[in-house]
Amino acid sequence: MVNFGGWELPLHYGSQLEEHHRVRHGAGVFDISHMTVIDISGRDARAYLRGLLAADVAMLKTPGKALYACMLNENGGIIDDLIVYYISHERFRVVANATTRAKNLAWMRLQMRDAQVKMTARDDLAMVAVQGPGARAKLLALLAAGERNIVERLASFEAAELDGVWVARTGYTGEDGFETALPNAQASTLWRDLIDAGATPAGLGARDTLRLEAGLNLYGVDMTEDVSPLECGLGWTVNLTSERDFIGRAAFLEQRAKGIKRKRVGLIVEGRGVPRAHQKVIVGNLDEGEVTSGTFSPSLKVPIALARVPLSTGNLCEVEMRGRRLKARIVKPPFVRREQPC
């Protein structure tokens, strides 16, 4: 067990490597109840979120649709990344990170001002995710016919509410699957049912290697309040198609006009050694870069990393590990997606 944002989470249930491969090629089940679920409701809910987030919730026109979004500070740095779901014109659901919970809630309350908005942290809900190419069949088999028909039709980044159970076709592994939110008392039953159906329990270790292979950022290492979406590969999440004045817009536009000095890349490292956060990335005569997160890829069987490097960096670099310099090839993430090497 390890401490993660104040939660005691299992690093693995016996074999991190086996759990990783079962998710990539079968199905794994994760307890993700540490995630922060927040319901936003009220007459001004849509307008409030349009000002709060860099993605535009006005793009969500059908109940159940979802957006991946960054919540920025006034300087254009990332307070957190999250998923926002559209339930109705006056009701939205936000799923954010665990380590940023207190900061997020304080910031979101501060931005309410006089808006007719109610914010409810859903501590009554647990979250269970089932991920992998076999996840869909395993969850569908547990549902009644009417519920199965609804969930079966869900596309990626869509959700449905089934008698108090929230089912979203989202995830953090690079594989297909679902994330569910349900009353705390019901979570253990769903967990056991999924395991009985053949899903493997998976811990925080496999979750990290899976998300890194999928090229997905982790808040606190790959992005922080000092990092712009432009510097961590998330510029695409910022919606500038209207005159909407969201928090951080002016700073983002200024950054884009001036140009950034560093960019996010993927690294495939040669030789023996596992890249870790804050290790130096050396690129010829250019300024140094930095590894933001790294691991040994169980799928590719090579060391991989995400890093921020000078904008003009080419295809090769070196990573400094314990006084040694290991050669690395620069690639575009993801490394693995839908079971296949990229």
- How, if at all, do strands 200-201 and 28-31 pair? parallel
4 band by pLDDT with thresholds 50, 70 and 90? confident
341 band by pLDDT with thresholds 50, 70 and 90? confident
338 band by pLDDT with thresholds 50, 70 and 90? confident
Q: What average pLDDT does the structure give for the chain?
A: 96
Statement: residue 125 has pLDDT above 90 = yes
What domains lie within the chain, and their CATH numbers? 2-212 (3.30.1360.120), 261-342 (2.40.30.110)
Statement: residue 197 has pLDDT above 90 = yes
Statement: residue 5 has pLDDT above 90 = no
Give the global pTM. Answer: 0.95
Statement: residue 327 has pLDDT above 90 = yes
Handedness of CA 79, 81, 86, 92 (dihedral sign): negative
Nearest to 295 by CA among 317, 268, 276, 321: 276
Per the CB < 8 A criterion, the answer to whether 279 and 291 are in contact is: yes
Per the CB < 8 A criterion, the answer to whether 28 and 19 are in contact is: yes
Q: Using one digit for the tens of pLDDT, what is the confidence trace for 42-92? A: 999 999 999 999 999 999 999 999 999 999 999 999 999 999 999 998 999
What's the one-letter identity of residue 3?
N
Q: Using one digit for the tens of pLDDT, what is the confidence trace for 213-251? A: 999 999 999 999 999 999 999 999 999 998 999 999 999
